[in-house]
Amino acid sequence: MMQAWGGRWTDAGWSVGIWAPKADEVGLILNGRAHAMERAADGFWSATVPARPGDSYLLRVDGQDIPDPASRLQSGDVHAPSVVVGPSGHDWQTPWSGRDWAEAVIYELHLGTFTPQGTLDAASDKLAELAELGITAVELMPVGQWQGDRGWGYDGVLPYALHPAYGSPDDLRRFVDHAHSLGIMVILDLVMNHFGPEGAYLHHAAPPFFDESRHTPWGAAIDFSQDAVREYWIQCAEYWIGEYRLDGLRLDAVHQISGPGADDFMTTFARRVRAVDESRAIYLIVEDERNERFLRENGYDASWNDDFHHAVHCALTGESDSYYASFSHDPIGDLCLALQRGHIEEGQPRPGRDEPRGEPCGDLPPTGFVNSTQTHDQVGNRALGERLLSLADPQGVRTAFALLLTAPYIPMIFMGEERGATTPFLFFADFTGDLAEAVRKGRAAEFAGIASLGSKVPDPLAMDTFARSKLDWNDPQARDWLDLTARALAFRRDHVVPLLKSGRSQPAQVTRHGAASLAATWHFHAGILDLRLSLGQSQPDLQPHENAAFSLGRIGTDPFALSVSTRFT
């Protein structure tokens, strides 16, 4: 039986455990008093002592005092003592068994920039507006604690501990409870492929946690062949799902979870996480650049589908650099593939790509693909953090957004997209000293080859960069976008979701018309969904439906237009 990471309550008192297989001596420093820890054969060290909630503690590993790598709560920043956490006394108000995945309309948000206050309580006050629009799930960008106050969350080093700038653990419980009362699922983005650059004391406590022979873009790879490593992440996920009644997880960049033991870890992870509470639905989404089907056939519900995003982006902007290269040659043709099969790149040779990527996934259910036209990655990794409305014809952006919400794949909205936000979402961080300077220089060097930018790349450490990324909730132009969102999501609820729930009966049929138009038909056991789209040039031979259930612009006349019809059997 693998021992538990971090602190927990037992009949004998409060116990704490850490894996430090190479250490000669490990001790617990509780409220400044030293206690010996016992070593087990597998390299786990543990101690059980009298303690009270609120007590502070450190772990002394070969003479160095460190916070608990599985800390549930910190007394300060990532270098400060950890805090003994008592059993939750939260009085949950909402009976909740979850929602059907076919009903998912995901809203990705960053807590720090979603509201002026940047807190869970402030975000909770906005949930009713999202529910009224028809949004059924919020996906929180990572909340595991990192150094400093502001950041995207992907530099976390204490993945069990809620980042304190957002609020307290009970604030998160109230947020989830309120979301459930409105019918909204809460999904957490969890990063298991790397740790941030400051405060990752596992490097000292457990060097075998990492495989120095392999590297990710963010440093040494994590060694998933180690039982203790696998347990660290599984117990972390179990904690978030169980302690906060979350509805699921989005797992960041699982293509970097590789090497010996990785596949077994991922399948075990899915089984264990779902077993936390079998009385309610728990969903698992992956970000996986490989375009493979293995995970979706072994416990995972869906994968982020960047292919759809890239085809839409290239069609609207004409951009062709970096990862857009292979999607810039024929973006409308690629969009036909995305609507027909989900992924575009399925292992076939493609111009702009040196090696094929992906494998055939077109027989997977449409609910196995999370589509988007904007995400934190695709906006925030631009030098100036521009949203699509700042890069392309506004009517084209509206049409692509309507397509996202009415097509039979799981749609994901990036915060503010539903209201036509033009505020940027920039890269920002809150490091100091040499690390801050390295991040600042690294960001500038990343875009040094783009002459048009000159010296305009924002300083990621500047408070103004963070402040500029906050949503504007008083934009008078938002009403038209909010009306479009509500109308499209009402159509989705009444027409698309019943078809998805019935299951697909045969492959989709997609036909291209001219340079920038297409017609798509999806067959389900309950009926047919028929869609006609122009994305940049009208096509007179493509006619609108006589009785369209949803339309935007006029097919056959307008360069940007969408018409959607359903027929139930």
Q: How far apart are CA 398 and CA 419, in angstroms?
A: 11
Give the CA distances from residue 342 to residues 176, 304, 328, 336, in Å, rounded to whole numbers and listed in that order. Answer: 31, 10, 18, 10
Quick one: which H or E segment has residue 375? none
- Is there a catalytic annotation at residue 287? yes
With helix as H, strand as E and coil as C, how does 149-212 read?
CCCCCCCCCEEEEECHHHCCHHHHHHHHHHHHHCCCEEEEEECCCCCCCCCCCHHHHCHHHEEE
Catalytic residue among 243, 287, 345, 417: 287
Q: Is 483 exposed, middle or buried (0-12, 13-18, 19+ CB in 10 A)?
A: exposed
In whole angstroms, give the CA distance from residue 487 to residue 410: 17
- Mention every residue, 6+ apart, whose C-beta is less than 8 A from residue 67: 58, 59, 74, 78, 79, 80, 81, 82, 158, 199, 201
Whether 252 is catalytic: yes
Sign of CA dihedral 245, 248, 254, 258: positive
How far apart (Å, rounded) are the C-alpha atoms in residues 56 and 30? 6
Closest CA relative to residue 16, chosen from 47, 44, 43: 47
> How many other CB atoms are found less than 10 A from the CB of residue 463?
12
Q: In angstroms, how far is CA 52 from the centroid of its own chain? A: 35
Q: And the tokens for 150?
A: 């502001």
Is residue 415 within 8 A of residue 380, CB to CB? The reply is no
What distance in Å separates the CA atoms of residue 338 and residue 363, rounded to the nearest whole number? 13
Q: How many CA atoms lie within 13 A of 166 on its CB side?
A: 31
Catalytic hit among 103, 252, 288, 530 = 252
Quote the CA–CA distance of 364 and 292 in Å, as a whole number: 11
DSSP H or E run through 241: helix 227-244
- Catalytic residue numbers read 252, 287
